Structure 1
Amino acid sequence: MANYRTMLKLHGCAEININSLKAKGNEDAHPSKNIKRPRRAEANYCPSLPVGETRESLEKLRITLLNEAKKKNNDKVIREIMAKTFAYRRYEIVTEQPKIADFMNRWPTLFQENEINAEFLRITTVPLQIRFFAELDRLSTNLVKVIKGRGGAIRSKTSQYVLAFDETSDINIRRECILRSIILYLGEDDKNLIKDYMDIQDEQESDDLSKQTMAIFVKRKP
């Protein structure tokens, strides 16, 4: 295995090179210090750059992406560029460990719903949203039993959602009831995370959205 890793290093394997002494700063220039390793689910922790590409060429592509993000109905182009710059983006995250605010400025398109799902799939090879809802549906009956087992204020707060869960066959409503009930079960207020609006409340919705750090906005028909 020692020879295998040496050969990978000679061929420029990014995952090996990031832990070499040459890649570390003077304060971290020790073999066992600040070792960067993939977490359990990270199948593509730090992949090599695409053939024929350099960090300089991919940085130019990132700048192009910023301009493409300003255009409407441009999802296909954005998706292609995001896929091509994946290795460059991962190298930046692993080696530089940037702050979220700085990273959002450099890669704003990564924080769109479809790109979050795509990036998760690239890193773990697991479809995030599909797997989450599949597991939620599989465990929903047991979760309801646990929630029903609580008494006092928690039972009073979750009763309307538990009742709605039992009375409907709409999978989306059942998922919403479970998620709201879990939040209440954990002692939190579901209204702090899930915001309900009618289609006619666009102005209020936009104003509230600008004040939220993280929230789920649900738009319902009048």
Structure 2
Amino acid sequence: MRDKTYLQVPRDMKHEILEKLAEAIYSFKAYPSDQEFNDVATALIQKHPCLIEPGSANGCNGWKNSIKFKMGNYRTKLRRAGCTDVAVNERKRKGQAPHTSIKRPKRFEINFLPNFPDGEDETSIESKRKELVEEMRKRHPTAALITKNMDSTFALRRRELVNLEPPVKDTMERWPALFTEGQILAEFCRLSSKNLNTEFFKELDKYTPRFFEIFKSKGGSVGQKLQKYLQQVRPESTDITAKRTAVLRGLPVILGDENTDFFKTCFDCEDPDMSHTPIGILTIIPEDRQASPDSLHLESSGTAIILEGRIVMDDLGNLPHAMCLLFGLTYALNLEYPQQLKYTFDFIQRVLLSLGHKSLKPKIQSLKNLLMQ
């Protein structure tokens, strides 16, 4: 520190440093991004200035490259040892473009593809899955048994959903309990270690007053649409569901998402055809109500979730409840976010639930800045 003499790192010492770093990185993420490798290298030379590389532009480019290579070697060791979340990508790149079909956590899942529990194999877990299916056929399934077996079959379920990417119809047949509210929330907790229901509504309610101010400040066609939502919710109202509905319907509007094919309505006397709807929320309204596209339908008869052209959950009560569970289902089923609401779902993930990188897309960063004012 006194005379700025940098350490000439011996080969065995560098090997030890890189091994420890790879082990620590893997405990957070199996496939870090380039920016995350840069963050690790920067943190290393800040913690130990003697490791700064005098010939490097930022003092750590060499370390960054070494950490990248070491991380690849570390994954190879784990793959040979049978670690499933990296073994799934064995030989994936042979004859393919870089990163093609590489299966990795997309949205900061902590337990993306776990190994089977000790003492269990595919046969023993499959028997528990069949027991689950039989239990779900009962009029009153035993909640404790379902929770226990859903926990113990988690690894098998993730292998199927990540490796095979089955249609939602097949998943409903093999894992019917996964389409119940309690197990959606439990599965989200298994994947991300977060309480979806609590955090989703806590953060949504925290930002609601500021959202209403932002809605009022908007002009043009966006402002006109937002005003129609605001007019249906009285400022002095204590109806928290109405306020949440207005925010969730207005969020795609200010983010520039196209939500006309996502939020669906039908009358309670109809049998709607959803075969052409890949993903969406269906609000069921009384026959004597007007089905306006700008209506929040606060007095609906019920709400349902649509996936791959079929209703997978219904009788959900209200739109905010359905939106929360649909977000949980995208994690539980390893689904892509709906293209027409990609910014909205990304906002929920990164801002409301704090899952993901600190760097945000410009639209989302701009909205977050407005919310913080």
TM over 0.5: yes
Distance in 1, Cα, partners of 2:233 & 2:242: 11
Alpha-carbon distance between aligned partners in 2 of 1:171 and 1:119, rounded to the nearest angstrom = 26
Structure 1 segment 194-205 matched on structure 2, within 5 A:
194-196=283-285
Other structure's SS at 2:311 match: coil
Question: In structure 1, which of residues 70, 88, 100 is the aligned counterpart of residue 156 of structure 2?
Answer: 88
User: Contact conserved, 2:230 with 2:246, CA < 8 A, in 1?
Assistant: no
Matches within 5 A, 1:68-217: 68-71=135-138, 72-150=140-218, 153-154=224-225, 157-163=228-234, 166-182=235-251, 188=260, 192=265, 193-196=282-285, 213=311, 217=316
Counterpart position of 2:113: 46
Offset at 1:157?
Answer: 2.5
8 Å CA contact 1:158, 1:184 repeated in 2: no
What amino acid sits opposite 1:8 in the alignment? L
Identify the residue that residue 56 of structure 1 maps to in structure 2: 123
C-alpha distance 4-14 of structure 1, shift in aligned 2 (>3 A): same
Q: Distance in 2 between matches of 1:30 and 1:54?
A: 32
Contact 2:84 2:114 in 1 (8 A): yes
SS at match of 2:225: helix
The C-alpha deviation readout for 1:36-91, integer Å capped at 9, x for no partner, is: 12214111111000111111111111111001112204111111111111111111
Write 1 or 2 for the structure with the bigger share of helix: 1
| C-alpha distance 212-51 of structure 1, shift in aligned 2 (>3 A) | closer
Offset at residue 8 of structure 1 (A)? 2.1
Secondary structure of the structure 2 residue equivalent to 1:195: strand
TM-aligned CA distance change 1:46 to 1:190, over 3 Å = closer
Note closer, same or farther for the CA distance 1:39–1:173 as it changes in structure 2 (3 Å cut): same
Unaligned runs of 5+ in 1: 198-204
**How many matched pairs?**
204
Distance 1:191 1:16 in 2: 39
In the alignment, the residues of structure 2 paired with residue 217 and residue 183 of structure 1 have an alpha-carbon distance, to the nearest angstrom, of: 21
Q: Which has the larger radius of gyration?
A: 2
Task: Report the 3-state secondary structure (helix = DSSP H, G, I; strand = E; otherwise coil) of the residue aligned with 1:213.
Answer: strand
CA-to-aligned-CA distance 1:85-109 (integer Å, 9 cap, x gap): 1111111111111111111111111
Structure 1 residue 141: deviation in Å?
1.4
**Aligned CA distance change for structure 1 residues 209 and 29 (closer, same or farther; 3 Å):** closer
The aligned amino acid for 2:232 is: Y
Match of 2:78 in 1: 8
Distance 2:213 2:316 in 1: 27
Deviation at 1:115, TM superposition (A): 0.8
Q: 1:86 to 1:172 in 2, by over 3 A?
A: same
Change in Cα spacing, 1:216 to 1:137, as seen in structure 2 (3 Å) is: farther
Seq. identity, %: 33
Name the amino acid aligned to 1:107.
Answer: W
